[in-house]
Amino acid sequence: MKKFLSFSIGFFTGAVVIGIITILFAPDSGAGLRESLKDSVMQTKNEISTAAQRKREELEAELSKLRQG
């Protein structure tokens, strides 16, 4: 448990540091960067929704098969 906690703290600290460095050295202005991040988040959200919907359809089809026979 202690190793997992240490790993988690290190991982999140590294992610925050990398995020800050990325924002500081970004080639866009503040408004451009916010718009780019917004677009990226929306695209990721749409991809996750699509993948979840596909998986749901697969599981419903499999459940239907199992119920029939």
Rg, C-alpha atoms of the chain: 20
pLDDT at 25: 81
User: Which domain covers residue 64, as residue numbers?
Assistant: 2-68
Give 46's pLDDT tier (boundaries 50, 70, 90): very high
pLDDT at 59: 94
Residue 33: exposed, middle, or buried by beta-carbon count in 10 A (0-12, 13-18, 19+)? middle
Q: How many domains, the chain?
A: 1
Give 65's pLDDT tier (boundaries 50, 70, 90): very high
